Amino acid sequence: MIASLRYEFAMQLRRPSLWIVYGLVVAVMVTVLDYWSLDLGVYEVSAPKEAMGVAAQIVVTLLPIVYGCMLADRLPRERVLRVDGILDATPSGRTARLIGKYAGVCAATAVPLAIAYFGRALLYVFVEGQPSALGWAAVTFLASILPGLVFVGALAFAGPLLLPPMVFRVLFVAYWFWGNVIPASLMPTLSHTVFSATGEYVRYGLLTPIPPGYGRASAVLDFLRPGYTPATAWLWIGVMIALAAAVLSLVRLHASRSES
Amino acid sequence: MRIDVSDLTKTYKGGARALDGLSLVVPTGMYGLLGANGAGKTTFMRILAGLLKPTSGRVVIGGHDLATAEGRLAVRRTLGYLPQDLGVYPDLSARRFLDYIALLKGLHSRSARRRRIAELLEVVALSDVADRRLKGFSGGMLRRVGIAQALLADPRLLIVDEPTTGLDPEERIRFRTLLSQLAGDRTVLLSTHIVDDVAQTCRSLAVLGHGRLAFQGTVSELVSQAHRQVWTVTTSGPAPAAGRVVSALPEGAGMRYRVVSAAPPDPYARPVEPTLEDGYLALMDGRAP
């Protein structure tokens, strides 16, 4: 598992397109969403915890799209490159290799996203002189961003088992906006539910108060939108991890069935 | 390491039968597996490597039964496998690629791994380009990387599937020599449709045809299948109608044909000594429906 994790991490991280695509989307965030601005107009600019929460919200609005799309060709890659015969003939376990590959490529694909997020935290520290922002950035990243990436990573990893990677990418972008970004009042959607990967249950249930004026109109599937509390924050983390585990189990099952 | 195969059958989804009741014993040493394209060689190799499950039948390698998970794992620990359609990670260097495969084969000590990789790069004459990315390698160089990865864990069983396909003559000779040198106390199973590769490297061989065992024995026994059945005919007329023409060489105003045929194909035909290729063709023609 460690070998796969290490090499898949290295191969994904050295992929030029990873940095180019992330770079383009971060450029959009900076120019259109005013990402580097310290005053995002939601909270007091001098409150580091809240500032890191708002930065997380911006990061998870767009960058998971790149994250998912860059993961979408990783699982079929061995077959496409015809390396699978050599790998399968080694005594390493297929399950261990699958988990190692998943963890390695997801971690590598999350590196540019983490740089964008922690880069802003560093900027904040230098300008505001509040080193505690780095600590809050780490907590926010681990609790509010990472569980979503764990689930979305598994989904994007497994999707190309059913669809060609390019088709999957198009559908993934549609899923991301439909299931995570659009307002719940617009149409039936998974946005703002415990199945949404944006981490708002942790941000508003554990870390920061709900921003002023952040009201929710009633919508379809509201039974999946409990209030923001510490309990629902932990529930959301559990749901993300459970969904990721379920998707990876299906991938392993699919591989077992394909073995004959 | 002896391989015992009994009544092995593989039927793919959709009904195509690749192996049909194959029984075979492969002893230690270099062993050839000949057969036309589609004869079932690659399916057989993939079953031996534990990549495919047979529909029925039994395979025991060095006392390990491939029907059990423990048996398959034990065989994989002693196996070096070079598949027919070898692929690599194009963005890794040869050294890094071998390092990855070595880790998967359980070579966890970094110093031992580096030493082994350096040795093998030397054996396959790739030390000079070991740190270049594999995407720049020629077909012959990739084949040599393939054999190096197969040898990483010093396997007792080496399975090489069509290793010389696509190589230029010089590379082919180099590759065959390398395989022969490696045989020693290992079992090296060489699958190919190129008769000359077996003739130059193996003492014993099996021939597959339509998923069945057509022949098992020594190279000289297969050659003797064409005894008194190989002829040369020089003529300025059409090619002999009887038998199978093996070669045709221009000679003067006519052509000199080499023919495998049970009876003289022409009143002026002269008998000649058979080669392994003649023996193979005589065998396959004798089995043809």
Alpha-carbon torsion angle B169, B173, B178, B183, nearest 10: 120
Q: Please indicate, yes or no, if residue B254 is contained in any of the structural domains.
A: yes
Q: Binning pLDDT at 50, 70 and 90, where does residue B3 land?
A: very high
Residues B155 and B102: their CA atoms lie apart, in Å, by 12
What is the model's pLDDT at position B82? 93
pLDDT tens, residue by residue, A126-140: 888 889 999 999 999
DSSP A242-260: HHHHHHHHHHHHHHHHH--
Q: Which of B76, B91, B96 sits opposite A90 (nearest CB)?
A: B76
Q: Please indicate, yes or no, if residue B111 is contained in any of the structural domains.
A: yes
Whether A189 and A221 have beta carbons less than 8 Å apart is answered as yes
Residues B40 and B138 in one domain: yes
Phi-psi sector, B29: left (phi>0), alpha (psi -120 to 50), beta: left
Residues B188 and B54 in one domain: yes
Residues B100 and B181 in one domain: yes
Helix (H) or strand (E) holding B244: strand B244-251
Written as six digits, the tokens of B231 are 């002829």
Written as six digits, the tokens of A108 are 């590598």
Residues A116 and A26: their CA atoms lie apart, in Å, by 7
Surface-to-core class of residue A252, CB atoms within 10 Å of its CB (0-12 exposed, 13-18 middle, 19+ buried):
middle
Q: Binning pLDDT at 50, 70 and 90, where does residue A212 land?
A: low
> A89 lies in which domain range?
2-258
For chain B, the average pLDDT equals 89
Q: Which of A85, A90, A97 sits opposite B105 (nearest CB)?
A: A90
CA distance B286 to chain A (A): 34
Say if A90 is an interface residue toward chain B (CB within 8 Å): yes
Average pLDDT over residues A136-153: 95
Whether B153 and B108 have beta carbons less than 8 Å apart is answered as no
Residues B132 and B268 in one domain: no
What is the model's pLDDT at position A213? 64
Q: Binning pLDDT at 50, 70 and 90, where does residue B265 land?
A: confident
Residues B209 and B261 in one domain: no
Residues B164 and B259 in one domain: no
The answer on pLDDT for A35 being more than 70 is no
pLDDT tens, residue by residue, B8-19: 999 998 888 999
- Domain finish residue from B184, B218, B252: B218
- Give residue B9's identity as a one-letter amino acid code: T
Q: State percent of chain B over pLDDT 70.
A: 99
Residues B63 and B136 in one domain: yes
pLDDT tens, residue by residue, B103-148: 999 998 999 999 999 999 998 889 999 999 999 998 888 988 998 9
Helix axis angle, B110-123 to B94-104, nearest 10°? 130
What is the model's pLDDT at position A176? 93
ipTM of this complex prediction, to 2 decimal places: 0.83
The tally of domains found in chain B comes to 2
Residues B116 and B238 in one domain: no
- CATH code for the domain in which residue B202 is found: 3.40.50.300
Q: Which of B49, B86, B104 sits opposite A3 (nearest CB)?
A: B104
Q: Binning pLDDT at 50, 70 and 90, where does residue A260 land?
A: low
Residues B158 and B238 in one domain: no
Residues B214 and B243 in one domain: no
> B237 lies in which domain range?
228-273
Residues B164 and B233 in one domain: no
The answer on pLDDT for B183 being more than 60 is yes
CA distance A3 to chain B (A): 6
Strand partners, B207: B34, B215
Whether B151 and B180 have beta carbons less than 8 Å apart is answered as no
What is the model's pLDDT at position A99? 94
Nearest CA in chain B to A88: B51
Q: Binning pLDDT at 50, 70 and 90, where does residue A215 land?
A: low
The tally of domains found in chain A comes to 1
What is the model's pLDDT at position B288? 46
